[in-house]
Amino acid sequence: MIILKNEIDLAGIKEASKIASGSLRLAKRLIRKGISAKYINDEIVDYIISKGGRPSFLGYKTDNKVYRYGTCVSINEEVVHGLPLKNKILIPPMLVKIDVGVEFDGYHSDTAWTFVLGEVSDRVLLLLKATKEALYNAIDMCKKGKRVSDITYAIYDTVKRYGFEPAKGVTGHGVGLELHEDPVIFNHPDDVDSDAIIKSGMALAIEPMINMGTADVKTARNGWAIVTKDRKWSAHYEHTVYIHDDGPEILTEDIDG
């Protein structure tokens, strides 16, 4: 069931979004050689709590598993749900993808960003450019009367032009009263099995996860991290977006800008 949000809800999701974006800006300042993913996680959790929020991921339940951390820190071939562990040390060259959900006053926001540590190849830089372009092209489709699959195809068509492919089996989603709401927003067209019409009042988390090599992924031994099957690198950007009568409003911030 898709929950439409009113102006009061929008104000709450905006507050949560400010804290979520502040968390990513903090992460950007912290990221450097030698620190652990746990350190980044702990600093972000402290920040969220200092702002009166709660990390939405902490205690999140899915498939009979409970997530025990406040953020996801995914590196290189980890597509999403990388664990922020003490022994995950940042060593250049590396892609560091930070994903943060914040609950504030009962409202959720969700945002993720990819950070580059050290010198990476031009092809990796192109992956980041393509993934970000896919995010903004997808958001351009967030207009009433469009379909959720228009988002999927905007992502797919954008990255295919660069020779990349969205990861299969991972999705964006509705967001706001819960971290994950309907609709499911597939990144890869092969996954599409439902297609809602976009309406004003929807709040959506748009999150292209784009692979340099194969679109196929598998779950890591820790049961959480989703990794590319060929171990080639992957990028991830995510914004929380609200759909007004006259089009989308991006509630989270561009951390490169």
Q: Which residues bind Co ion (CB under 5 A)?
A: 99, 110, 112, 205, 238
CB of 245 to ligand MF3, least distance (A): 26
52: Cβ contacts below 8 Å, ≥ 6 apart: 19, 104
Beta carbon nearer to ligand MF3, 47 or 57: 57
CB of 15 to ligand MF3, least distance (A): 19
β-bridge partners, 72: 99
Q: What angle do CA 154, 25, 58 make, to 5 degrees?
A: 80
Give yes or no for residue 99 binding ligand MF3 (CB under 6 A): yes
Could you say which residues in the range 103-142 bind ligand MF3, by CB under 6 A? 110, 112
Beta carbon nearer to ligand MF3, 5 or 173: 173
Beta carbon nearer to ligand MF3, 81 or 132: 81
Could you say which residues in the range 205-244 bind ligand MF3, by CB under 6 A? 205, 207, 238
Burial of 207 (0-12, 13-18, 19+ CB in 10 A): buried
Q: Which of 6, 23, 185, 27 is nearest to 103 (CA)?
A: 23
Give yes or no for residue 81 binding ligand MF3 (CB under 6 A): yes
H or E element at residue 61: strand 61-62
Beta carbon nearer to ligand MF3, 126 or 178: 178
Contacts 24+ apart (CB under 8 A), 103-106: 103/16, 103/53, 103/54, 103/55, 103/56, 103/179, 104/12, 104/15, 104/16, 104/19, 104/51, 104/52, 104/53, 104/54, 105/12, 105/15, 105/16, 106/12, 106/177
As given in the structure block, the two tokens for residue 39 are 């350190």
User: Number of residues in contact with ligand MF3, rule: CB under 6 A?
Assistant: 14
CB of 91 to Co ion, least distance (A): 24
Decide which of Co ion, ligand MF3, none touches 84; Cβ closer than 5 to 8 Å per partner kind.
none
- Contact with ligand MF3 (CB under 6 A): which of 67, 136, 153, 162? 67
- Contact with ligand MF3 (CB under 6 A): which of 14, 36, 51, 60? 60
Phi, psi of 90 (to 5 degrees): -75, 115
Beta carbon nearer to ligand MF3, 53 or 101: 101
- Contact with ligand MF3 (CB under 6 A): which of 57, 113, 115, 186? 57
Q: Which residues bind to ligand MF3, rule: CB under 6 A?
A: 57, 60, 67, 72, 80-81, 99, 101, 110, 112, 173, 205, 207, 238
